[in-house]
Amino acid sequence: MLDFFTACIHLDPIGIIKAGGYLGLAVLVFAESGLLVGIFLPGDSLLFVAGLLAAGGFLEPLSLTFIVVGAAILGDSVGYWFGTRIGSALFTRKDSRFFKQAYVARTQGFFETYGGRAIILARFVPIVRTIAPILAGVGSMRYTRFLSYNALGGVLWGAGVILLGYSLGSVIPNSDKYVLPISLGIIILSFSPLLLNLVRGKSKRLTRQ
């Protein structure tokens, strides 16, 4: 258990998976999907590395996929429930080291741009994927509608990222040796929508001035 927490603190995907196994993965995916404490967890790189390790025989791919998808869907549902109850407090919460009002504003912009599809697309954007289900609850989106987007997004993200890792691990021998550069690439790619949104926002403000 100590190894698992140490790996989480150091954001070490291989260490997290090897120390925590299926349960550790499920807990982290659940936390990142719907709990604010998981807002900075390395979800994308974690699932990709899990796929790599599954290709190497460390994890059983089908079981891994079912567990991750289930945890993702359940996590978003809890986030939605939180939003319907006390999620409005997000709008008055003060900025801290781990939470900024800018995160809420960006997620709201995501909803304004994509509507209900934001629940699906948010799965692939760090930070936004944690806040999106909460805002869906705050905005009183019908749960049946939310659940359909939630389930589809959970499958596309959970199964899709694992499949990418598994495919790479199947064709490149000892691909786990390249986890660090691969993880960095995934992180950069994951945050690119946020960066583009930030740049567009600044451009619009400059145009108005």
List, as one string, the DSSP characters of 44-67.
Answer: HHHHHHHHHHHHTTSS-HHHHHHH
Closest CA to 51 of 33, 41, 38, 65: 65
Q: Which two tokens stand for residue 50?
A: 């899990």
pLDDT in tens, the chain (209 residues): 667 777 677 777 788 888 889 999 999 999 988 888 777 787 888 898 899 889 888 899 999 999 999 999 999 999 999 888 876 777 777 777 667 777 777 777 777 777 788 899 889 888 888 888 988 888 778 899 999 999 999 999 999 999 988 988 888 766 666 665 665 666 566 556 555 555 555 444 444 55
* Domain annotation covers residue 134: yes
Answer yes or no: is 174 within a domain: yes
Question: Could you tell me if residue 208 is inside a domain?
Answer: no
Give the domain range for residue 122: 2-90+99-201
pTM of the model: 0.81
With respect to residue 172, please indicate whether it lies within any of the assigned structural domains: yes
Is 43 domain-assigned? yes
CA–CA distances in Å: residue 66 to residues 32, 46, 69, 100, 186: 17, 15, 5, 33, 22
Is 206 among the domain residues?
A: no
In a domain, 164, yes or no: yes
Dist CA 27 CA 161 (whole Å): 17
What's the structural domain count of the chain?
Answer: 1
Taking the C-alpha atoms of residue 162 and residue 55, their distance in angstroms, rounded to an integer, is 10
Q: Is residue 109 in a domain?
A: yes
